[in-house]
Amino acid sequence: MKKNMLSLSNYVTIFENHSQHFSPTDVVKICKRMNNPKRDFLFVNPLQGKHIPVNPSKAFSLFEELTQEVVKGTNKTEKTVVIGFAETATAIGNYLASHLPNCIYYMQTTREILRNKTPVLEFKEEHSHATEQLLYGDIHRLQECDRIIFVDDEISTGNTILNFIHELEKINVHADYGVASILNWQNQEWATKFSNLKISTFCLVRGKITNLKAIVPISTSYLDTAFVKVRCNPNVIEIPCDVSSFSKERIGFIPHDFKMFSHTLYSQIATQITNYLPKNNENILVLGTEECMFSPMVFGKMLAEKQHVNVCCHATTRSPIETSTLKDYAIQYRYPITSCYNKERKTYIYNLQKYDRIYIVTDVIPTEEFIIDISSALVSTGCKLETIVFIVLKG
């Protein structure tokens, strides 16, 4: 591999950085997509709490900076609906909605089918590995609001946003629009198009992709990290929870105040797992599942504060990324995991490490296959079976 070929400057030119705490190289790592002919490279954010373990307070600090960009650029009298994009931006969207003074409703897109519910709309996220997206919720909130803010981790062009707006207009939604993202790579043509359509953009890092056909120079991809499947009798604890659940997150709700949400969520979980709470200074992993990211990260943040432990958070994902042990490459270990939601779906977890205690926070009863796979993968890193707790948030 040529020297410094994973350098960000080989893929993008940075124009602006609005973050006061993080540099562009803090929030963007170059990785290689698996079997994707559309684009070889992928931007991975190590502070987002998705692919790479991160201290949840760092993630929320990043989200807060994006939130402040939105607050500065919007009218506080406007009734606003925030829509977070699955899979990677559900936590960012939820955080922004809970801190935006004028947000009257929060929604997220989903790739899950909700029984006995009819989606408001369906659309395609064309650049993604899983293109179908659904939106459930109260259509009247969309029709009556003044502004809709879409939240994503990254915008390359904005074509997905335009597809979304086109579908909204079909159901008689006519609002002002904005897009909030950690990264914005729109070129001048797309930026002008958005400006002409009066679609506001808010971001922390703005730049331009220099070559869409650029190849990540990894000569050989590494195989999935092997692990032996173990027998386990897991601790699966269902938590009655009135602030977070599978359906609540996906059918839309009036946002909670973040502090109230945090204390309520932690209290409702902690009182049910007193025998499994950590000891001082233990190294803890709080793991989310696919679209379920926000509540695990909030629990992780509160756990660190209340129990005086070291916490990392990330989540399983549908996104397939190549691994490499090359220096400075962000994704080094890939574990294939059966989905928590569907035993026929393959997902991944990256960069697992050894921890003293693990909390897997999800919003459905996990599949048996998922329990075995994730437990076995964790054991292969040196974790002990008895320290793994599955927490299921039930509305």
Distance CA 311, CA 291 (A): 20
The whole-number average pLDDT for the span 94-104 is 96
pLDDT at 40 over 70: yes
Task: Name the strands in the sheet holding 388-394, side by side, starting at the edge strand that comes first in the sequence.
Answer: 235-240, 388-394, 357-362, 283-289, 310-316
Higher pLDDT, 54 or 128: 54
For the 8-209 domain, the top CATH level (class) is alpha beta
pLDDT at residue 127 above 60? no
Q: How confident is the model at residue 38 (pLDDT cuts 50, 70, 90)?
A: confident
Work out whether strand 132-135 and strand 103-110 pair parallel, antiparallel, or are unpaired: antiparallel
Q: What is the pLDDT of residues 130-140, one digit of tens each?
A: 458 899 999 99
Q: Sort 349 into a burial class: Cβ within 10 Å, 0-12 / 13-18 / 19+.
A: buried
CATH 3.40.50.2020 intervals, the chain: 8-209
pLDDT digits 0-9 by tens, 303-322: 999 999 999 999 999 999 99
Distances (CA, A) of 54 to 61, 183, 312, 313: 12, 18, 5, 5
State residue 131's pLDDT score: 57
pLDDT band at 129, cuts 50/70/90? very low
**Is it true that the peptide bond before 87 is cis, omega within 30 degrees of 0?**
yes
In the predicted structure, residue 124 carries a pLDDT above the cut 80: no
CATH fold for domain 235-394: Rossmann fold (3.40.50)
Q: What percent of the chain has pLDDT over 70?
A: 96
Across residues 96-124, what is the average pLDDT? 93
pLDDT band at 327 (very low <50, low <70, confident <90, very high): confident
222 pLDDT band, cuts 50/70/90, is: low
**What integer pLDDT is reported at residue 86 of this predicted model?**
95
- Residue 37 pLDDT: 79
Average pLDDT of the segment spanning 80-93: 97
- Decide: 77 and 143 in contact? Cβ < 8 Å: no
- How confident is the model over 228-238, as pLDDT tens digits? 999 998 999 99
- Using CA atoms, how far apart are residues 39 and 129, in angstroms rounded to an integer? 11
| pLDDT above 70 for 169 | yes
Is 2's pLDDT higher than 70?
A: no
Residue 220 has pLDDT above 80, yes or no: no
Higher pLDDT, 395 or 184: 184
Pair 121, 168: CB distance under 8 Å: yes
**Mean pLDDT, the chain, as a whole number?**
94
pLDDT tens by residue, 144-157: 999 999 999 999 99
285: pLDDT strictly greater than 80: yes
- Overall residue count recorded for the chain in this entry: 395
Q: State mean pLDDT over 36-42.
A: 87
Q: Name the phi and psi angles at 285, rounded to 5.
A: -110, 130
Pick from 123, 121, 18: nearest CA to 68: 18
**Does residue 257 have a pLDDT over 60?**
yes
Name the pairing type of β-strands 346-350 and 334-338: antiparallel
Q: What is the 3-state secondary structure of the chain? A: CCCCCCCHHHCEEEEEECCCCCCHHHHCEEEEECCCCCCCEEEECCCCCCCCCECHHHHHHHHHHHHHHHHHHCCCCCCEEEEECCCCCHHHHHHHHHHCCCEEEEEEEECCCCCCCCCCEEEECCCCCCCEEEECCCHHHHHHCCEEEEEEEEECCCHHHHHHHHHHHHCCCCCEEEEEEEEECCCHHHHHHHHHCCEEEEEEEEEEECCCCCCCCCCCCCCCCCCCCCCCCCEEEEEECCCCCHHHHHHCECCCCHHHHHHHHHHHHHCCCHHHCCCCCCEEEEEEECCECHHHHHHHHHHHHHHCCEEEEEEEECCCECCCCCCCCCCCCEEEEECCCCCCCEEEEECCCCCCEEEEEECCCCCHHHHHHHHHHHHHCCCCHHHEEEEEEEC
User: Checking phi first, is residue 223 left (phi over 0); if not, alpha (psi -120 to 50) or beta?
Assistant: beta
Distance CA 45, CA 64 (A): 16
Alpha carbon distance 121, 370 (integer Å):
30
140 or 219: whose pLDDT is higher?
A: 140
Q: Higher confidence at residue 313 or residue 125? A: 313
pLDDT for the residue 349: 98
pLDDT surpassing 60 at residue 240:
yes
Residue linked to tokens 């606003």? 80
Q: Tokens 């693990």 label which residue?
A: 358
